Chain A
Amino acid sequence: MRKNTWKFVSLFVVALMLFGACTPAVTPAPTEPAAPAEQPAAPPAPPAEPTKAPESPPTAPAASEASVTVVHYFSDTLGKETVTKIFDSFTKESGIKVIDNTTGHEDFKAQILVMLAGDNPPDLFSYWAGARVQFVVDSDRLEPIDDMWASEGLDEVIPPAVVKGSIYNGKKYLVPFGYHYAALFYNPKVMQQVGITEFPTDWEGFLAMCEKIKAAGVTPIALGSMNRWPAQFWFDYLLLRTAGPEYRAKLMAGQAAYTDPEVQKVMEMWKELVDKGYFVKDANAYDWTDASDQVANGKAAMTLMGTWITGYWNGNGLKPVDDYDFFPFPTIEKGVPNAVVGPVDGWVMSAGAKDKEASKKLMTFLVKNTDASATWAKGQGALSPNKNTDPSIYTAVMTKASAEVAKAEVFAFNYDLATTPPMAEGGLNMFAQFMNDPSKYQDYLVETENVAKEVFKK
């Protein structure tokens, strides 16, 4: 009897082993919730006011029930609510049903992969403009939309800097839905306390400001690099402001080396900031919301972050201008084209989309309908890629952000969207190493260049 019990237990264990050790190898889709988002997750934003649904009578094409299936990563409560509202108004206007099969934000990456691999893709899905879309385009999984772009006159609607993010291998694939801009967000009360009234436009001014803040007993810069990506904006801006956008584009494409003097210089400047004690201690222990809180409660003066931080702060009851504001990353080398950094969220159509016409109608609606773009920008704390979006939906801070982007000569995607995914992994890793111990940055650059050699097969 006892013998049997142990036999049973051991068989049970073996069964566990087989299921446990082998199946994740095959279908490693993570099912754990609440994962820290790698990309700036659609952050909590102020409750969106109910927007007036266009009251036009449903002009539904009488017969066939057309429908479009979509999957997206706007899966937090507010994001999902807002996007559903937009889909509903589209259905009202066009009679085309939208079937939303969205799961979690972090699940999205695995989900879309599995759907594409299984030849069962949604008609439309949200994706990050830049190297990630390029990757799917190169895998022959997306449908170009040049005809629709031309017939709908989207060049008239979308600013040229953002249009660039829609073009891959010479064709248009993505309609932008919202974008963000990274800048130095600060706490005006702290700045006032330490006696800073003017914000620096050059590097010397920036260093002097940090010194002044530090002397007053406040940490100048908050950074929460636990999930690595928040550190990338420092690398991005330092590189764009010294070597310039052209060199950076080369580095992102594997045509320049991480061991180049241009990159060394960036790391040296960044190291100087860390060595002087301008950054918070243990940046890797905090996430971006921790860093935002440190600025909000006055422990730190500023943080380099995307405009989604305004949504987070508004949600916590902070008031734009009074409680937070921003200034653009200062100029370092004169004569380098003025670039801004940020991500663009967009929609792409699968090559295997079942109803391409209906899908194009929805894509057009998402970018062109000003009610939809206003609802989205307001709900997400994002900037609208549609020039005709009512500017009064923005807070004063967002209006200023929009103006900064309009002034810029180049719109550059942040690091993890600018370079191919395996390279981004290597680079983000380097940033985390750097924040832990900047003294060995030379070694990290060599390691990162080794990754680049493997990725770009030089």
Chain B
Amino acid sequence: MAQSKRFWRIVFLSLPLLFYAVIVIIPLTSSFYYSLTNWNGFSKTSDFVGLANFAKVSRDPLFLNAIRNTVIWMVAAIVVPSGFGLAIALVLHQGVRGANFFKSLFYLPICLSLAVIGQVWIWVYHPDWGLLNEILRLIGLQEATKAWLANPGTALPAVITAWSWQQVGLAMVIYLAGLTSIPAELTEAAEIDGANYRNLLRYVIIPLLSPATVVVIALSIINSLKSFDIVYIMTQGGPFHKSDTLAMFMYVESFKKYYMGYGSAISVVLFLIALVVIIFYFRQVQALEHLYD
């Protein structure tokens, strides 16, 4: 009996596992292998160069620049979507008039692809007729107008803002789900005990929302590590690498410079960073499980 159950398990799992192996495991391991070569992406042959690519990674100023930008992005990803998402969720959860309308409104950007969002924000930032500069001119801040995406100081924040615009909606939905899962007895009990809203928020709601917070932050960090599409659409990492992220940098090295081996090494580094985040995330989730026990 047990034997046949096991047999069927293997049968049913074999196809998805095979699929997974072909599209994930094999490419992943070959990527590790290529990171040790000087393959240019075209040649039939490549030389094994050991850890040379990783040595290059450690002293490449463009890599350090991409790391710096990715860290900035991550920090923004931790603060902005969770902060705004929580604020909006709290307001909407109170039972505002037309809450459902606003929920859909804030959620809407999630339904758009990042390519579309990037294009829309390119228009917002356009130096001549973009919404942002138009508003600045309207309120008399003529000097503050800028070529937002071409200015080395503002390109990265401008792209991150466009990206956050989408992420806030996602964070809001997760927080709304978290809020509905907080038992009413708990908040009522706190109110009866005389807690004001600030204390209620601080001692009851936010601690009980921590599973949601972990999900929001983990999602944001992972999405920030993946940040390629919107950068590709909006700036291509420019002006002169000022908005390069690790993923964008990896693309340029692999597909524009044809340093496929080096690009693979960058991807391995990216993978390791993601791994650290995943391990951290797992620990957090485990630590939080007691909340519902």
Contacts and interface: CB of A to CB of B under 8 A. Distances in A.
Interface of A: 2-3, 5-7, 9-10, 13-14, 16-28, 30, 32-36, 38, 109-110, 113, 116-117, 119, 135-136, 139-141, 226-228, 282-286, 421-422, 425, 429-430, 432-433, 436
Contacts of B257: 421-422, 425
A113 B42 contact: yes
B292 interface: yes
Contacts of B164: none
Contacts of A425: 252, 256-257
7 contacts: A2-B292, A3-B292, A23-B28, A32-B113, A139-B40, A140-B44, A422-B256
Given A9-B215, A17-B222, A284-B150, A26 B274 contact: no
A10 B285 contact: yes
A229 to B, nearest CB: 11
Interface residues of B, number: 67
Nearest to B226: A20
A3 B30 CA distance: 38
A110 B31 contact: no
A25 B271 contact: yes
Interface in B236-293: 236, 238-241, 247, 250-252, 254-259, 263-264, 267-268, 270-271, 274, 277-278, 281-282, 285, 288-289, 292-293
Contacts of A2: 181, 292
Contacts of A34: 115, 119, 233
B55 to A, nearest CB: 13
B291 to A, nearest CB: 9
A149 to B, nearest CB: 23
B166 to A, nearest CB: 15
A285 B233 contact: no
B41 interface: yes
Contact of A227 (B24, B28, B236): B236
B273 to A, nearest CB: 8
A202 B47 CA distance: 51
Contact of B27 (A23, A38, A110, A421): A23
B233 to A, nearest CB: 6
Contacts of A20: 222-223, 225-226
Contacts of A28: 228, 247, 250-251, 254-255, 263, 267
Contacts of B268: 25
Contacts of B64: none
B270 to A, nearest CB: 6
Contact of B271 (A9, A21, A429, A436): A21
A34 B45 CA distance: 33
B42 A24 contact: no
Q: Is the interface of A mostly helix, strand, loop or mixed?
A: helix
B51 interface: no
Residue with the highest number of chain A CB atoms closer than 10 Å, among B23, B258, B289: B258
Contact of B43 (A19, A140, A282): A140
A26 B30 contact: yes
B152 to A, nearest CB: 6
Given A3-B289, A10-B285, A24 B27 contact: no
Given A135-B258, A226-B150, A429-B240, A19 B24 contact: yes
B211 A6 contact: yes
Contacts, number: 170
Given A13-B218, A25-B270, A32-B233, A436 B150 contact: yes
B132 interface: no
B188 interface: no
Contact of A421 (B150, B258, B293): B258
Nearest to B149: A285
Contacts of B147: 282, 284-285
B191 interface: no
Contacts of A22: 24, 28, 271, 274
B84 interface: no
Nearest to B113: A32
A135 B31 contact: no
Nearest to B178: A6
A115 to B, nearest CB: 11
B232 interface: yes
Interface in B100-122: 113-115, 119
A34 B113 CA distance: 13
B249 to A, nearest CB: 11
A436 B292 contact: no
B76 interface: no
A2 B140 CA distance: 53
B127 interface: yes
Nearest to B223: A20
Contact of A14 (B223, B252, B278): B278
Nearest to A290: B128
B133 to A, nearest CB: 11
Contacts of B181: 2, 5
Contacts of B281: 10, 13-14, 17
A140 B281 CA distance: 47
B219 interface: yes
Contacts of A38: 256
A34 B236 CA distance: 12
A398 B225 CA distance: 48
Contact of A285 (B43, B150, B223): B150
B93 to A, nearest CB: 17
Nearest to B254: A28
The winner among A17, A20, A139, A282 for most chain B CB atoms within 10 A is A17
A140 to B, nearest CB: 6
Contacts of B256: 38, 109, 421-422, 425
A30 B230 CA distance: 11
Contacts of B219: 13, 16
Given A30-B228, A282-B147, A422-B258, 4 more contacts: A5-B181, A33-B115, A117-B41, A282-B150
Interface in B189-238: 211, 214-215, 218-219, 222-223, 225-226, 228-229, 232-233, 236, 238
